[in-house]
C-alpha cells in the first residue's frame, strides 16, 4: 500500500513494486489529510532574472517531480534544462546546461517562462 505522511514532501520508493499512478498518489495524499492543488506561474524574464540564472515561484510547497517548465512554447527537461530547489524558503527554478550559458537557446530578457506545478 502507498503511504504518505502529513509532513512528507515526496512519496518514497516502494520496494514491494507498487505501481505509482496518478490515482493512487492522489488517494495517498488525501488519506494523509493533505490537499493537492494545481497552479501555474507566468514570468516575463527581466535582466535580473537572466543574470541570476533563476526564477522563484510565489509558493513554498511545490511537488518537485510534478512540475513542468516551458520557455516560450518549448518544454524544458528537469535536470537537463533546469533544477528545482528551495533557497531561503523560496522555490527556485535554476536554468542548467545550455540554458545557463551564453548560447543562442539561453533565456533572454523579455522571454516568457510558464511553470505548471502542484502544491501540497
- Residue-wise pLDDT for 50-100, tens only, equals 999 999 998 888 877 788 999 999 999 999 999 999 888 889 999 998 888
- Shortest CA distance to 67 belongs to which of 52, 55, 53? 55
User: What's the pTM value of the predicted model, to 2 decimals?
Assistant: 0.72
Q: Given a cut of 90, is residue 18 above it in pLDDT?
A: no
User: 16 and 40 share a domain?
Assistant: no
**What are the beta bridge partners of residue 78?**
82
Instruction: Report the number of distinct structural domains present in the chain.
Output: 2
41 shares its domain with 85 = yes
- Whether residues 63 and 114 share a domain: the answer is yes
Which one has a higher pLDDT value, 67 or 24? 67
CB-count burial class (<10 Å; 0-12, 13-18, 19+) for 5: exposed
Amino acid at each position: 500500500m502507498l503511504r504518505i505522511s502529513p509532513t512528507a514532501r515526496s512519496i518514497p520508493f516502494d520496494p514491494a513494486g507498487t505501481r505509482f499512478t496518478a490515482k493512487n498518489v492522489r488517494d495517498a495524499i488525501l488519506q494523509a489529510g493533505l490537499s493537492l492543488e494545481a497552479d501555474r506561474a507566468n514570468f516575463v524574464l527581466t535582466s535580473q532574472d537572466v543574470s541570476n540564472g533563476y526564477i522563484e515561484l510565489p509558493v513554498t510547497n511545490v511537488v518537485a517531480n510534478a512540475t513542468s517548465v516551458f520557455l516560450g512554447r518549448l518544454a524544458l527537461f528537469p535536470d537537463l534544462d533546469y533544477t528545482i530547489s528551495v533557497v531561503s524558503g523560496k522555490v527556485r527554478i535554476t536554468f542548467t546546461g545550455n540554458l545557463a550559458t551564453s548560447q543562442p537557446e539561453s533565456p533572454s530578457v523579455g522571454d516568457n517562462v510558464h511553470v505548471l506545478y502542484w502544491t501540497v
